[in-house]
Copies of this chain bind each other. A is one copy, B any other.
Amino acid sequence: MTRSMSAEIICVGTELLLGDILNSNARYLAQQLADLGISHYHQSVVGDNPGRIQQVMQVALDRQAQVLIFTGGLGPTPDDLTTATIAEFFQTPLVEHPAVVADIEQKYAQRGRVMTANNRRQALQPQGADILPNPLGTAPGMMWQPQPELIILTFPGVPREMYRMWQDSAIPYLQANGYGQEQIFSTSLRFWGVSESALAERVDRFIQMSNPTVAPYAGKGEVRLRVATKAATASAAAQIIDPIAAEIIELAGDYYYGKDTDSLASVVGQLLSATQQTLAVAESCTGGMIGALLTDVPGSSAYFWGGIIAYANAVKVNMLGVDPQVIVDHGAVSALVAEQMAIGIQAKIGTDWGIGITGVAGPAGGSAEKPVGLVYIALAKPDGRVESMKYQLSTHFDRELIRQMSAHQSLDILRRRLLKIQD
């Protein structure tokens, strides 16, 4: 049986009402409901206030909602009131789950801490509710049917705990109860070095399609195209998605670098691994970000050996062999310094490839000649040659965005060269 009932998302937290945090949980749940094909017409945000939470619940029930999904307010502090409020709404007593008490106690012990009375409150759930286990934190949620045709799910506000609990327990529970039998399956295609509008124009005829749908997203230099279709099984979806994805990838050419969970760092890693080549980095303006991106990929030690963070000029000279006269003549932010950094790290660590990067991340330090956002990236190659590229990022970008975009840009250059693409 496939039900067509609707779900509402209720996010509890004064920090949302104060604008302290973005409501990323609502977005995640909305995407998940869409993928499961569960209708969803309303989201509400309410503070940690029992009366207002109950009023919002009543409004949702008046709208015939049949799945209420709560996030937030499950923690150990006195203002975490969601569980008790839901129990009170349905005039159901709270009961303590000994297994959860033991789990909480053990988790605190692992962290070298003692479970307090407040911590223990997290083991209380309404009588009759199933525990929604939280493998990553101390606060479990509930899966409860307090009355016919109504499912209540609660999650902590911590996004990574919520995501894991949703995937592990909530989806199976919903499916076992007749929801989400036909899912939306999708593939995200990832592109670098092209604007959203330019890519959208190039693949315009696909964006007009109704099945699969093709929707563009953009952020921090990357553009994604999400290719999606509704199907009963992953393999049925793949028959619709894959041919279109292949056509888009063909049309997009070099800009396409990977799909779904791929990153520029993981793709570079795959290309290096496949040819048993190695990489080292010499970072000035990015200060370690390229290394951090590369080592974010499990198993990266196979091809990424390390690098030097050459933030001070003395480090560039003494540890990378940059000619001090070049710094005097051309400045630390120059093509020659980037090249000598790349050559230096390649030689010093003995890798096949070396990346050198130097730039003006701002907000201070810019000049008319070398404004904020000017970045030089150099690549020392296995054949002994070195090439460098100059980028002028928008002067409206902040320090963080300039550093992030130039770190990714350096990985994209390496990706292109590993694929033997010349610009």
Q: Which residues of A contact B (CB under 8 A)?
A: 14-24, 26-34, 40-47, 49, 52, 55-56, 59, 63, 75-79, 107, 110-111, 113, 116, 118-119, 135-136, 158, 160, 195-198, 200-201, 207-208, 215-219, 226, 281, 283, 285-292, 294-296, 298-301, 304-312, 314-315, 318-319, 348-350, 361-364, 392, 394-401, 403
Oligomer copy total: 2
Contact of A292 among B113, B288, B315 (CB under 8 A): B288
A203 CB → nearest B CB, Å: 11
Q: B306–A281 contact, CB under 8 A? A: no
Q: Given contacts A59-B59, A136-B396, A283-B288, could you give 15 more A-B pairs where the C-beta distance is less than 8 Å?
A: A18-B226, A19-B31, A41-B49, A42-B52, A42-B56, A107-B394, A113-B198, A281-B309, A286-B292, A287-B288, A288-B290, A288-B295, A292-B292, A301-B312, A306-B309
Q: A291–B283 contact, CB under 8 A? A: yes
- Which B residues lie within 8 Å of A218 (CB)? 75
CA distance in complex: A319, B344 (Å): 13
CA distance in complex: A201, B121 (Å): 14
Q: B43–A30 contact, CB under 8 A? A: no
Query: Majority SS of interface residues in chain A?
Result: mixed
Contact of A30 among B18, B34, B361, B400 (CB under 8 A): B18
Q: A312–B306 contact, CB under 8 A? A: yes
A326 CB → nearest B CB, Å: 18
Q: Which residue of B lies closest to A31 (CB)?
A: B19
Q: B298–A287 contact, CB under 8 A? A: no
Given contacts A27-B19, A44-B42, contact A298 B399 (CB under 8 A): yes
- Which B residues lie within 8 Å of A59 (CB)? 59
Q: B158–A219 contact, CB under 8 A? A: yes
Contact of A207 among B44, B78, B135, B286 (CB under 8 A): B78
CA distance in complex: A350, B317 (Å): 13
- Which B residues lie within 8 Å of A286 (CB)? 292, 295
A182 CB → nearest B CB, Å: 16
A355 CB → nearest B CB, Å: 12
Q: B46–A77 contact, CB under 8 A? A: no
Q: Which residue of B lies closest to A398 (CB)?
A: B160
Q: Which residue of B lies closest to A308 (CB)?
A: B308
Contact of A77 among B15, B200, B349 (CB under 8 A): B200
Contact of A20 among B26, B135, B217, B349 (CB under 8 A): B217
Q: A309–B308 contact, CB under 8 A? A: yes
A197 CB → nearest B CB, Å: 4
Q: B23–A77 contact, CB under 8 A? A: no
Q: A30–B49 contact, CB under 8 A? A: no
Q: A46–B52 contact, CB under 8 A? A: no
Q: Which residue of B lies closest to A201 (CB)?
A: B116
Q: A311–B315 contact, CB under 8 A? A: no
Q: A118–B200 contact, CB under 8 A? A: yes
Contact of A63 among B20, B55, B288 (CB under 8 A): B55
Please name the 10 residue pairs, one residue from A and one from B, whose CB atoms are nearest each other, closest first: A287-B295, A288-B291, A288-B288, A19-B31, A19-B30, A43-B45, A306-B315, A305-B312, A288-B292, A291-B309
Contact of A311 among B201, B291, B314, B362 (CB under 8 A): B291
- Which B residues lie within 8 Å of A350 (CB)? 314
Given contacts A18-B34, A77-B216, A136-B396, contact A362 B298 (CB under 8 A): yes
Q: Which residue of B lies closest to A373 (CB)?
A: B110
Q: A118–B197 contact, CB under 8 A? A: yes
A236 CB → nearest B CB, Å: 20
Q: A41–B31 contact, CB under 8 A? A: no
Q: B349–A116 contact, CB under 8 A? A: no
A118 CB → nearest B CB, Å: 5
CA distance in complex: A348, B319 (Å): 8
CA distance in complex: A53, B33 (Å): 20
Q: B52–A20 contact, CB under 8 A? A: no
CA distance in complex: A44, B11 (Å): 10
Q: B20–A215 contact, CB under 8 A? A: yes
